[in-house]
């Protein structure tokens, strides 16, 4: 190194100048969400109870009419199927 000149040791041909990073997606665990919210279940329960109370009152008033009793029994079956499936 005479004369104060510097000699280049690393260059494009013989050295690594940078490292390129490749980004890849990171998958997280799936989160299970309820099909029905707690509030919706409470509302359905309140609605079912009110319908049951109404049907009971109507049956007590019209206990002599079998057609009304049959109607409310059928309605109760349909509502119970809806709440089970829903």
pLDDT digits (tens, 9 = 90+) for 23-58: 888 888 888 877 778 888 898 889 888 888 887 887
> Taking a C-beta distance cutoff of 8 angstroms, is the pair 19, 32 a contact?
no
Is the CA virtual torsion 42, 48, 51, 57 positive or negative?
A: negative
- Cα separation, 82 vs 74, whole angstroms: 12
Report the chain's C-alpha Rg in angstroms: 38
Q: Give 7's contacts (C-beta < 8 A, 6+ positions apart).
A: 1
> Strand, coil or helix: what is 62?
coil
Model confidence over 2-15: pLDDT tens digits? 567 877 666 666 66
């Amino acid at each position: 190194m005479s004369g104060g000149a510097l000699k280049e040791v690393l260059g494009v041909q013989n050295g690594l100048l940078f490292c390129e990073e490749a980004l890849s997606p990171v998958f997280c665990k799936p989160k299970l969400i309820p099909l029905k919210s707690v509030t919706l279940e409470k509302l359905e329960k309140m609605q079912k109870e009110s319908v049951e109370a109404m049907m009971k009152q109507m049956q007590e008033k019209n206990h002599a009419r079998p057609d009304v009793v049959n109607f409310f029994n059928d309605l109760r079956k349909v509502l119970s199927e809806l709440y089970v499936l829903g």
